[in-house]
Amino acid sequence: MALRIHNTLTRQKEDFTPMHGRRVNMFVCGITPYDHVHMGHAKTYVTFDMVARYLRSRGYHVFYVQNVTDVEDRLIARMLESGRDWRELVGEFIVEYMAVMDALNVTTVNHFAWATDYIPEIIEQIKGLITKGHAYDVDGDVYYDTTTFDGWGKLSGMVVEELRPGARVEVDKKKHHPADFALWKKQKSGEPAWDSPWGKGRPGWHIEDTAITMSHFGPQYDIHGGATELMFPHHEAEIAQAEALTGLRPFVRYWMHGGMLMVGGEEMHKSLGNFWAVVDALKTFDGEVLRFFFVNAHYRSPIDFSVAAMEEASKSYKRLLDSYQMLSHAARSGREGQSTADASLDKAAETAKARFDEAMDDDFNSREAIAAVFTFASEINKAVEAGVSKEVAQRSVRVLDSFGNILGLFQKIRHQGLAATDSLLDLLAQMREEARKRKDFAVSDMIRDRLKEIGVTLEDAKDGVRWKLK
């Protein structure tokens, strides 16, 4: 069955056909590192991490680029109010961002593109837009003339008339039309600036993305992701810039937008006092539980974050972890040979896999996919109780791991398991030494031989004995 993706541009689910065979170029709007990463960001980046993981599991070669908006109005405002250098703010918040992404098992971005590394490409695009009559320079500020682009509004469905002079948009006297947006902003005192044909200044926000994606992907590419709030004007502006410049349509084949993160039924805002920085949430909730909370909903649905909802998520996730651990135990120490519980567990694994893939193929419906994992987990519990064989348990662990790899779950338990294994091997090596010292060769040889059977050899070192994996 084909993978289908909901395309915001056409407002329907479409079969996924990448432009270049199995290669998928994917871009997601990154952060402006001027403040703490918030829960809305976390939801977005977990979503697209899952998208990249699923596409890769299906054999696509995903090249995932995310930008870092390291020069922008909000960053400059923060610089001016705090008296700190903008680069210092960027440094601080990008480090926090990376740490937070790590805690959420977000690992799939191939390249972080920093906007200020693309100033020459940005300038080239603006020059091209001016040459083609889509942009104009007013005393060092350059604007995009939205009336010259016939596709303006097609992504967000905004009614063009609403954006004409006299409508509710605030009028900036330098602009020809209220909807026109800045491509280049003239330097104001104290602001970072670069040389350009229009004088010293800095890029507008929207042009950064098209300069970056055209550098890496060319004039058209497969997937552009981001939060719904960015659809207008940001993504609309990207389309206007790229399509006017290259004449090629569509600029992006599949536009994907994630649903909003609400807090207690309201939009999250600093002014409402319901703002959650991810660093603070991580003090209370485990990163993987947070991730579970996000992927346990369809990415296009809004989700309501609350302490109660997180406690609920935590309980649900623990049920999955318990089944995972029971099954892992059976995979190590279950019975040899066959068991009457085998056939039903194999069947449950097969059903779970089919349901999981079907759900993910349907516009990455991770909510349905997780429902399949829960059904599988209860079958696992039954099979383990009934004494499933080692071999069949091992097969089911591999199926659970494949789900975990796509959803970005069960990662911690696997690492914890590995860390515990290391400590246990240390302990066994030590126990064997103790046995040898008291000349209990039966026990010391048994430990050595049994370890050898599982591929662990013991060797003498200056400070005692150390173990080594084959």
Q: What does the binding site for Zn ion look like in residue numbers (CB under 5 A)?
A: 29, 209
- Please report how close the Cβ of residue 230 comes to Zn ion at its closest, in angstroms: 6
Using DSSP bridges, classify how beta strands 23-28 and 61-68 pair: parallel, antiparallel or unpaired: parallel
Q: Which residue is nearest to Zn ion (CB)?
A: 29
Q: 318, 307, 262: which is closest to 285 by C-alpha?
A: 307
* Residue closer to Zn ion, measured from CB, 29 or 211: 29
**In 69-226, which ranges are continuous DSSP H helix?**
73-82, 86-103, 119-131, 205-217
Task: Please tell me the distance from the alpha carbon of residue 75 to that of residue 462, in angstroms, as a whole number.
Answer: 56
- Please report how close the Cβ of residue 109 comes to Zn ion at its closest, in angstroms: 14
Q: 401, 399, 400, 386: which is closest to 343 by C-alpha?
A: 386
- Please report how close the Cβ of residue 282 comes to Zn ion at its closest, in angstroms: 25
Residue pointed to by tokens 């103790």:
434
Distances (CA, A) of 359 to 14, 365, 366, 372, 410: 15, 5, 7, 9, 19
Contact 227/40 with Cβ under 8 angstroms?
Answer: yes
* Residue closer to Zn ion, measured from CB, 29 or 42: 29
CA terminus-to-terminus distance, the chain: 42
- Please report how close the Cβ of residue 209 comes to Zn ion at its closest, in angstroms: 4
* Residue closer to Zn ion, measured from CB, 198 or 205: 205
Identity of the amino acid at 258: G
- Please report how close the Cβ of residue 380 comes to Zn ion at its closest, in angstroms: 42
* Residue closer to Zn ion, measured from CB, 227 or 326: 227
For residue 22, give every residue at least 6 positions away whose Cβ sits within 8 Å of its Cβ, in sequence order, or none: 59, 60, 61
- Please report how close the Cβ of residue 257 comes to Zn ion at its closest, in angstroms: 12
Task: Please tell me the distance from the alpha carbon of residue 468 to that of residue 448, in angstroms, as a whole number.
Answer: 12
* Residue closer to Zn ion, measured from CB, 29 or 263: 29
- Please report how close the Cβ of residue 227 comes to Zn ion at its closest, in angstroms: 10
Residue pointed to by tokens 């209860």:
378
Task: Please tell me the distance from the alpha carbon of residue 70 to that of residue 91, in angstroms, as a whole number.
Answer: 9
* Residue closer to Zn ion, measured from CB, 181 or 317: 181
* Residue closer to Zn ion, measured from CB, 106 or 113: 113
* Residue closer to Zn ion, measured from CB, 72 or 209: 209
- Please report how close the Cβ of residue 384 comes to Zn ion at its closest, in angstroms: 47
Distances (CA, A) of 236 to 6, 8, 181, 278, 394: 17, 11, 11, 29, 49
- Please report how close the Cβ of residue 234 comes to Zn ion at its closest, in angstroms: 6
- Please report how close the Cβ of residue 7 comes to Zn ion at its closest, in angstroms: 18
CA gyration radius for the chain? Answer: 27
For residue 349, give every residue at least 6 positions away whose Cβ sits within 8 Å of its Cβ, in sequence order, or none: 376, 395, 396, 399
For residue 21, give every residue at least 6 positions away whose Cβ sits within 8 Å of its Cβ, in sequence order, or none: none
Other Cβ atoms closer than 10 A to 97: 22
